[in-house]
Amino acid sequence: MEVKYATSFDERFNPKNVLESGKDKFWITTGLYPQELAIELKKPQPIGSIRFTTTGAKKVEIQGCKDSKGNDFVKLGESKEIANKGSSEQNEQIAIQETFPVTIFKFIILDGWDDFVTVHNIETA
> Tell me, what's the pLDDT at 97?
87
Cα(105)–Cα(47) distance, rounded to whole angstroms?
10
Q: Give the pLDDT score at 80.
A: 96
Task: Delimit the domains of the chain by residue range.
Answer: 2-124
- The CATH number of 2-124, from 2.60.120.10, 2.60.120.260, 3.40.50.410, 1.10.600.10, is 2.60.120.260
In this predicted structure, what is the pLDDT of residue 53? 95
Quote the pLDDT of residue 55: 95
Sheet-wide strand order for 102-112: 2-6, 35-45, 102-112, 57-65, 74-78
pLDDT at position 118 is 95
What does each C-alpha distance from 20 to 23, 43, 62, 63, 124 come to in angstroms? 10, 19, 20, 21, 13
Q: Residue 16's CB: how many other CB atoms inside 10 A?
A: 14
Q: What is the pTM of this model?
A: 0.94
pLDDT tens-place values along the chain, 125 residues long: 999 999 999 888 999 999 987 778 899 998 799 999 999 999 999 999 999 999 999 999 999 998 877 788 999 999 999 999 998 999 999 999 888 999 999 999 999 999 999 999 999 98
Computed over its alpha carbons, how large is the radius of gyration of the chain?
A: 13
The predicted structure's pLDDT at residue 2: 94
